[in-house]
Amino acid sequence: MKKFLALAALIVVLVFLIGGNTTPAAAQSGATFKLTLIHTSENHGRWEPEKVGEALLGGIARRATLVKKLRAEIPNTLLLDSGDISQGTLYFRQYKMTEARDFYNLLGYDAVALGNHEGDLGPKTLADNFLTGAKFDVLNANVDFSSSPDLVGKIKPAVVKTVGIEISATGTFGGEKIGIFGMVTDDITINSNLGRTLKVKDAVQTAKDMVADFQKQGVNKIILLSHRGFDFDRDLVSKVNGIDVIVSGHTATLQGDATKLDKALGAPAWPYPLSFNTPNGGRTIIVHDYQFGYLLGRADLTFDANGDVINWGGHPINVDKNVEEDAAIAAKVAELGKPMEAIRKAVVAKSSVDLVGDRNNVRFSETNLGDLVADSMLWATRDDKTQVAITNGGGIRISIKAGDITQEQVLTLLPFGNFLVQLDITGADVLAALENGVSQAHDKSLSGGRFSQVAGIKFTADLSKPVGQRVTDVQIGNAATGFKPLDKTATYRIVTIDFMQTGGDGYTAFAKGKNVSGLVMTNDEAFADYLKANPVVSPKVEGRVNLINVPAAQGTATAVPPTAPPAPPATATAVPPTRVPAPTATPAPPPPPPASDNTLLIIVVVVVIAAGAYFLFGRNRA
């Protein structure tokens, strides 16, 4: 009976000590809370290191090593990704996103945003191969998925993560609540294959609603995983209060200090991290870690008791030869790569010139590689008497150096497996399609993939004119047979890709097409066959797309910064930190909390438990 009474008393003491402490540690003591965000974006299936200039950068096995190291050194971390994880390499073609899910499970990601390229293979494949079995949360709040049975209930708008020690009884002991939500580009219905009927919500209102919802839950530290682009994120900050950090994606924006980044990456567009004022005078930090896993973002944040960021630092880490590969992850990469070894080595053709397919060119102007891809589409469908080929610059994913062109490069260049589709449309609809193609050519910050790469046609576009009134002097034909002016009332047989034929990238004019056929050959197959028939190529830019009055200072996702710090944008005001952090490669853990913090309470609990155990049981064994 005495033992029972003593045990009951012990339980009462523990409940008092644990249960009575119901508010987060930082809020109770007025102490600050330190959190490090480890983040990635735009991986696009780059699981192996890649040659960039003279450097060999990236690789998921090196990333795993860095993640483990940071987690071991820093008490409070979150591992996050802002989308476009898998698509872009042979791994995507072979494993259709299951490899991305498995790698991210192995690294222990906490949450990722839905990117537009997560939908390239349609909603069912996304659900079956990526969402199912994922041990991390996939987030999106600005898309209504109710019209997609495959996705309903499988993508969360938001999640609350507890970072720090937590012991649940009648309340919470330690641990800080972090609210995380995701958003994607407004044009997700036309730049992915998730479905044209999805409803996209207003981004600003969605963000305000999410902040309000978190605040109702008592969560005052809020992170947005944004796959909307750096400039759109800056604009959002100027309109929405309460978001502490935006982990940006979609535009492959390079932030950081050039002296700390591998020189192969070029000059950063912005410092890292970057702080902007919100409408009410608050603060939002924006970070972007570029692309392809070449860097690992690391943002060190300090929050006050109100959940406001009062100090920030950190820097993207080079994922280079100085980072040892995690053996288990490297073995997994090697295992998955075995079925593709023969494909990698097969030489399809040779090019005597560099083939230009980088995003800052192929999405905003005619390039020799864009011409070559369009030529292959026209050639592959010549028996169907196609006259014009129109494809999207965003579907061309890499440049190729002069020399051998391998099958691996072909599949990496055109990774989506899009089928060729032939259809009849009027000259007026051809004109409308070209207008759509150049509608974003005036501003590289828009980063759209709709720019028209063409064959069998040439035209002029005046970028000083309003969108929809730019295209003139459209002519149908080729250099061998001559050109004739476009007749708006005539019917033309064109070839495009299935993604665009159903309205993708804004090509709604193609949906009006008649006599639709095709869907038996993919664009990468057509390109490979064309190269085999023309084993040595040396394409030149032919003036098929003549842009005039191009703005002298176009926006760019990776612009070279001026010698002075970048001027604050009109949409949001950049502000300096309250004190300049001193980030290092491996910063020391934060100092121990004051005696009033939860650490002291943990010690007291342990002492009480030990004393009770000794009193109840130890003396009988003596």
Determine contact, residues 532/348, Cβ cutoff 8 Å. yes
**What pLDDT was estimated at residue 170?**
45
Do 189 and 311 belong together in one domain? Answer: yes
Nearest Cα to Cα of residue 254 among 236, 237, 266, 263: 266
425 and 489 part of one domain: yes
DSSP alpha helix (H) spans, 222-318 = 230-237
Question: Is residue 278 in a domain?
Answer: yes
Burial class of 460 by CB neighbour count within 10 A (0 to 12, 13 to 18, 19+): middle
Instruction: Return the CATH number at 384.
Output: 3.90.780.10
The dihedral over CA atoms of 480, 521, 530, 362, expressed in degrees to the nearest 10, equals 80
206 and 116, same domain (yes or no): yes
Strand 158-163 to strand 176-184: parallel, antiparallel, or no bridges (unpaired)?
antiparallel
Domain boundary (543, 560, 577) is at 543
Among the listed residues 576, 122, 121, the one whose alpha carbon sits nearest the alpha carbon of residue 311: 576
pLDDT for 165 equals: 63
Instruction: Say how far apart CA 588 and CA 615 lie, in whole Å.
Output: 40
Report yes or no on 552 lying in a domain: no
Same domain, 304 and 369: no
| Intervals of the chain under pLDDT 70 | 1-30, 165-174, 447, 553-622
Do residues 230 and 326 both lie within one domain?
yes
Domain boundary at 334, 364, 388, which? 334
**CA–CA–CA angle 511, 363, 460 (5° rounding):** 75
Domain boundary among 492, 518, 543: 543
Counting the structural domains of the chain, the total is 2
| pLDDT at position 611 | 47
Question: In terms of domains, do 313 and 352 share one?
Answer: no
Instruction: Provide the pLDDT for residue 418.
Output: 87
Q: Read off the DSSP letter of residue 400.
A: B
**Are 327 and 396 in the same domain?**
no
Residues 257 and 321 in one domain: yes
Provide the domain limits for residue 208: 65-334
Residue with tokens 């121990």: 592
Q: Report the candidate in 396, 422, 423, 400 with the shortest Cα–Cα distance to residue 351.
A: 400
Distance (Å, whole) CA 408 – CA 406: 5
Same domain flag for 83 and 123: yes
Task: Tell me how crowded residue 215 is: count the other CB atoms within 10 A of its CB.
Answer: 14
Any domain includes 567: no
In this structure, are 318 and 354 located in the same domain?
Answer: no
51 part of a folded domain: no
Quote the CA–CA distance of 69 and 494 in Å, as a whole number. 54
d(CA 333, CA 59): 9
